[in-house]
Structure 1
């Protein structure tokens, strides 16, 4: 699938989002905030597309996708399931390769550092502790996959893994499942 189709699939899912929690509850407010984050990054991807900035367009889409999948996993929001997978995106023929190298290298460093700058927040007996661990595991696996792809010089999907994993990690933090212990500048914690 090409980037425009990927955008349309994510946009379709975003338009079908519903908050799973009762109105006025903290988790309903959280669901609304997460929906706004997803929508905002989809909008960013449109801007980048209009500037022919393929690297940032892709990064925005996959980051939004990470937030979407993490929030659905946590039960905060629900959406139509359209089996969208960022790994199905075909690497564009033309893009700024030096920008891709810089962004992938920077995101690899940022996510690696972010994963050493957190701790699981809920008590171990809580199901939210397990949920937080799962979100962190997705981000850790994303770093491993990106590293393997780096070795093959396959940086477009490597960046995808990093953005997707970062989306999961930021969702876990925004949801109160993971606590920031250092480097708060690496996280999307404020609206």
Structure 2
């Protein structure tokens, strides 16, 4: 199990990224978007953590990790491999329990809505169709893992999984893998 949940760990991961696509290509634009989103959510997570909002910091770091891993899976850059699993445990103080409960429930609904709002866009006979299916499967697996943790009262782990899976789907939308068939407003487009 890997734990990516410090700003330092995410910053180190971003520093190890090696571009894998030619400058000026369409995939370079996707790569730039993926990295920009990961950096943005790393920054947001640091701001939240500095303010003592460890719930939103945790969700931001997990979401950034989802973007990074989806980009690595798609071959947008080298220097990162997708770990087989994560340990999304985080210490959230009891004073933030209500915030954690609300955010976890909201992100479970958001990830469920995102999953039901996308369909693979590429033709079924192309390799990119398989990639879209793999990205969507990562989102579904994250939802399932999150629900398992939530059912056992491990809400920080659940929130991490929901945020991480949503990052994969959002990156897949940006990469053109999905047609948005439902709630367009929940995606970064």
Is the TM-score greater than 0.5? yes
Which residue is equivalent to 1:160? 160
Give the deviation of 1:79 after TM superposition: 2.1
In the alignment, structure 2 segments of 5+ residues that lack a partner are: none
Q: Considering only aligned residues, what root-mean-square deviation do their CA atoms show, in Å?
A: 2.2
Q: Aligned runs of 1:6-85 on 2, under 5 Å? A: 6-80=6-80
In the alignment, structure 1 segments of 5+ residues that lack a partner are: none
| TM-score, with structure 1 as normaliser | 0.91
Contact 2:16 2:79 in 1 (8 A): yes
- Report how many aligned residue pairs link the two structures: 188
Change (3 A) 1:138 1:119: same
Give the deviation of 1:107 after TM superposition: 0.7
Contact 1:70 1:171 in 2 (8 A): yes
Are 1:117 and 2:123 counterparts?
Answer: no
Structure 2 CA distance for aligned equivalents of residues 5 and 112 of structure 1 = 23
Q: Deviations over 1:118-153 (max 9, x none)?
A: 111000111110010001001111111111112111
Secondary structure at 1:176 match in 2: coil
Which residue is equivalent to 2:100? 100
Tell which deviates more after alignment, 41-50 or 88-97.
Answer: 88-97
Change (3 A) 1:147 1:81: closer
Change (3 A) 1:138 1:27: same
| TM-score, with structure 2 as normaliser | 0.91
Structure 1 CA distance for aligned equivalents of residues 84 and 14 of structure 2 = 12
Contact 1:6 1:84 in 2 (8 A): no
